[in-house]
Structure 1
Amino acid sequence: MEKRVVVTGIGAVSPVGNDVDAMWESVRAGKHGIAQITRFDLEGQKVTLAAEVKDFDFGDRRAAKRLDIADQYALVAAREAMADSGIVSGENVDPNRFGVYGGTGIGGLATLESEVSKCVKKNTPARASALLVPMMMPNAIAGNISMEFKAKGASFGIVSACAAGTHNIGEAYRNIKHGYNDVVIAGGAESVLAPISFSGFANMTAMNPTTDPDRASIPFDVDRNGFILGEGAGWLILEELEHAKARGAEILAEVVGYGATSDAYHITAPDPEGEGASRALEMAIEDAGIAPSDVDYINAHGTGTPYNDAFETIAIKKVFGDDTKVPVSSTKSMTGHLLGAAGGLEAVICVKALIEGFIPPTAGLQKQDPELDLDYVPIQGREADLKYVLSNSLGFGGHNAALIMKKYED
């Protein structure tokens, strides 16, 4: 028999707040976290803005030296989610039925770039850190979390570019739904604010080269011109319903639907017909056992690139109808694009939206593209009676993932 899967904890590190409450306060207010990047020298760079995590303190300097910054974000956000849930391995969950699905888009790129510079440019291979490999491994995020919290069930990270966070949560949901684990820490973490990634994305013309932070990440706007890189982590504690009830857990939301497809079209460009993305939406809705009209809010992938926003709109219309009134917003307008962590953070935002009955805005959407005619919740969020919310993620490589969460009802 299939199990019901609920959310019993959430945690976040983001460009607009280093915990869930601070992040949500900024998102509700429509405040973005975009500014000129401070992480490295901007000489020669075509793009100068980013959504950096600010005033971050891992807490243990010695341990921090052994971890890539993305792993640090992952652990801090996971600690918040674990504390929120009250889960303690060996006390109220069997360690062997406690897993981690923790993904990323790229992995420890900043660490890799630093070590390459040290070894190649200075021709001193003996100076390479003995910790280079474990610090750059994409799976280190899941591994470090599993070790800290003694989670001995399935532990790995799905790497699927900008869809990684949503894929990890969706697959964790299926893992519990079909009875393999009782609890899973699921989400994503990312930090690639390094010269090499900025150069690559900028030369691809994927990032917005503007110097105006207020007009930098503007999904669905006629002046949109690329995304702004962000960083951080977002995690959910997913738990089998009866397990959560037996220990008296506070239930924040329920995960009820998940869909995953591939465009099989292009390594970076989305399918212009939105075929793969629309099928992921349909799969999630069917899995949830609802109709498209039951969805009260869509947290769009909404990167702010000309193609993504147009083709995602096409995909939504294919499923919800040309005349749909469903509110659609992009919180990347405030957080920037966290790549593999985006789906994790946006799932946390969706949980908060359900709890508080509030639809976040697409901040900065001043001049809506006349060819994009959905309700994109411009500038200001709004109070709403939310029962079902959908989070959408689309990744380089043609990876599509859609997740539906529901306001919890016993």
Structure 2
Amino acid sequence: MAGVAGTCSAGLLFKGRESGANGAASLMQYSGLRPVENVHVAPSRSNLAGVISASARKCGKIKAMASPTISAPKREKDPKKRVVITGMGLVSVFGSDIDTFYSKLLEGESGISLIDRFDASSFSVRFAGQIRNFSSKGYIDGKNDRRLDDCWRYCIVAGKRALEDGNLGPEVLDAMDKTRIGVLVGTGMGGISVFSNGVEALVQKGYKKITPFFIPYSITNMGSALLAIDTGLMGPNYSISTACATANYCFYAAANHIRRGEADIMVVGGTEAAVMPSGVGGFIACRALSQRNEDPKGASRPWDKDRDGFVMGEGAGVLIMESLEHALKRGANIIAEYLGGAVTCDAHHMTDPRSDGLGVSSCISKSLDDAGVSPEEVNYVNAHATSTLAGDLAEVNAIKKVFKDTSEIKMNGTKSMIGHGLGAAGGLEAIATIKAITTGWLHPTINQDNIELDVTIDTVPNVKKQHEVNVAISNSFGFGGHNSVVVFSPYSP
């Protein structure tokens, strides 16, 4: 869930059941992914043309043999299939205002602090990116608000704020064909607080004391469902749950609904609220988390030699994705363009990355193919960068495989300041990526005190940098070997 290709801690190895106390599954630390040299990766469509043309210069016969279907990448031109971003909404450790969120990131401010939502004094990890002073006023009525899991509260507020940002308030929506507007907000863990409370009631008081909302508010599809019920949106509606790759999977699927003509608009992203006893305790059991209890703000340190695990975060990030044709017709404010994406699976291990990095590098290459972008056009990477021993370097190695020349690329880690939002991470990071495109400023990766020697790409260490983004990719990877990459650019008519 936390590292590349589902790497949680320093690449966890789950062994068989031991005969010891409680028969707990044993865990072993993994030394980390070593750079693999001379591993053959099949060239993607986007770089194959360059290989063939280079060969053709050496031998004319090869040029004659080249397939006519292989050519330089071409971006989508059909306004019905071009997908643009027309609204954004979030709930974060820095609040629910987009500009405030990005300003805090640019300032290099850490949102990590000691947990006070529950008594964590006996836990070996006592800090997280916990959201405080959250208000759903104006978005959820009081009665429902008291019943909902925070996961769904964050989803509804972020979703409605995104609709507002896209000039799609109730009056505008009521005049539109709502069967052409869908909702796809995923989550890695769902309503985990409601679920934990229901199990506790069952064990302590019996099944008759389980709330009737136990099942509905636990299952992972309920964020999309509740948001649609509140807004009357009747288009494609479901959720995707691929651990920490969730939000990017949702963006990719939602864009394809638009491209296939099944929807004009999709409200799409990820939500998560796992900063609670079973959530924190579960990741402690995985040995996934940093234990810098004396220095919470310095705990999330992607690519730093002294990193010791990720920091839990929470929140929601939602985009309004819309066909260019529909956006132009209604006079929408177009913020950026979604060019494409890809999803792959390592098919290797529950938590460890492939040693050759093929799952990640192939996902990046496929996303560029889908986007009609050559590797040379990309100059910004919002990295997954969880601050795990194996995961951080694995991602860098995969990036180097795809982008042979990284001298013009800048790469940063949003999680260094807000923690790892699990299923919400890709949503929050997509917003950070789009803000980098629209502002021309990249937020820093903080806590870069002693960067790994293998990390030769500019990580924007500790201080923001001005940078005109041409094409950006945002990476998310999750437990189970789920890889997802999405591609954004400035909108150009």
Q: TM-score, normalised by structure 2?
A: 0.81
Q: Which residue of 1 aligns with 2:30?
A: none
| Aligned-pair CA distance for 1:404 | 0.4
- Among 148, 153, 164, the alignment partner of 2:230 is 148
SS in 1 for 2:256: helix
Alpha-carbon distance in structure 2 between the residues aligned to 1:403 and 1:323: 19
User: In the TM superposition, what whole-angstrom CA distance separates every residue of 1:248-300 from its partner, at most 9, and x where no partner exists?
Assistant: 11000010010110001110122232110111100111111121111121000
User: In the TM superposition, what whole-angstrom CA distance separates every residue of 1:165-221 from its partner, at most 9, and x where no partner exists?
Assistant: 111011101111121100000101000112112122112111101111232111111
Q: 1:40-59 residue pairs with structure 2 within 5 A?
A: 40-59=118-137
Alpha-carbon distance in structure 1 between the residues aligned to 2:270 and 2:176: 22
- Among 371, 376, 382, the alignment partner of 2:454 is 371
Q: Does 1:34 align with 2:115?
A: no
| Aligned-pair CA distance for 1:28 | 1.2
Q: Percent identity?
A: 37
Q: Which residue of 1 aligns with 2:143?
A: 62
Q: Does 1:203 align with 2:285?
A: yes
User: In the TM superposition, what whole-angstrom CA distance separates every residue of 1:223-255 from its partner, at most 9, and x where no partner exists?
Assistant: 111100000000000001010101111000010
Q: Which residue of 1 aligns with 2:163?
A: 82
Which amino acid in 2 is paired with 1:382?
Answer: K
Which amino acid in 2 is paired with 1:183?
Answer: I
- Among 333, 336, 340, the alignment partner of 1:257 is 340
| Aligned-pair CA distance for 1:381 | 1.5
| Aligned-pair CA distance for 1:3 | 0.8
Q: Which residue of 1 aligns with 2:374?
A: 291
**Cα distance change on mapping 1:382 and 1:323 into 2, 3 Å:** closer
**Cα distance change on mapping 1:70 and 1:374 into 2, 3 Å:** same
SS in 2 for 1:26: helix
SS in 2 for 1:206: coil
Q: Which residue of 1 aligns with 2:386?
A: 303
SS in 2 for 1:296: strand
User: In the TM superposition, what whole-angstrom CA distance separates every residue of 1:294-319 from its partner, at most 9, and x where no partner exists?
Assistant: 11210000000011101001110110
Alpha-carbon distance in structure 1 between the residues aligned to 2:475 and 2:407: 17
Which amino acid in 1 is paired with 2:107?
Answer: A
| Aligned-pair CA distance for 1:348 | 1.0
**Larger CA Rg, structure 1 vs 2:** 2
Q: 1:2-13 residue pairs with structure 2 within 5 A?
A: 3-13=81-91
Alpha-carbon distance in structure 2 between the residues aligned to 1:323 and 1:349: 21
Check the 8 A contact 1:19/1:77 in 2, yes or no. no
Q: 1:157-172 residue pairs with structure 2 within 5 A?
A: 157-172=239-254
Check the 8 A contact 2:102/2:432 in 1, yes or no. yes
Q: Which residue of 1 aligns with 2:315?
A: 232
| Aligned-pair CA distance for 1:137 | 0.9
Which amino acid in 2 is paired with 1:96?
Answer: T
SS in 2 for 1:349: helix
Which amino acid in 1 is paired with 2:314?
Answer: E
Point out where structure 1 has 5 or more consecutive residues left out of the alignment. none
Q: Which residue of 2 aligns with 1:102?
A: 185
Q: Which residue of 2 aligns with 1:181?
A: 263
| Aligned-pair CA distance for 1:44 | 2.7
Q: Does 1:132 align with 2:210?
A: no
**Cα distance change on mapping 1:272 and 1:215 into 2, 3 Å:** farther
Alpha-carbon distance in structure 1 between the residues aligned to 2:176 and 2:261: 14
Check the 8 A contact 1:16/1:31 in 2, yes or no. no
Task: After the TM superposition, list the runs of 4 or more consecutive aligned residues in structure 1 that deviate by more than 6 angstroms.
Answer: none
Check the 8 A contact 2:156/2:226 in 1, yes or no. yes
Q: Which residue of 1 aligns with 2:45?
A: none
Q: Which residue of 2 aligns with 1:399?
A: 482
Q: Which residue of 1 aligns with 2:47?
A: none
Which amino acid in 1 is paired with 2:147?
Answer: R
Alpha-carbon distance in structure 2 between the residues aligned to 1:100 and 1:324: 39
User: In the TM superposition, what whole-angstrom CA distance separates every residue of 1:350-405 from its partner, at most 9, and x where no partner exists?
Assistant: 11111111112111212111232221111012111112111000011100000001
Alpha-carbon distance in structure 2 between the residues aligned to 1:332 and 1:16: 13
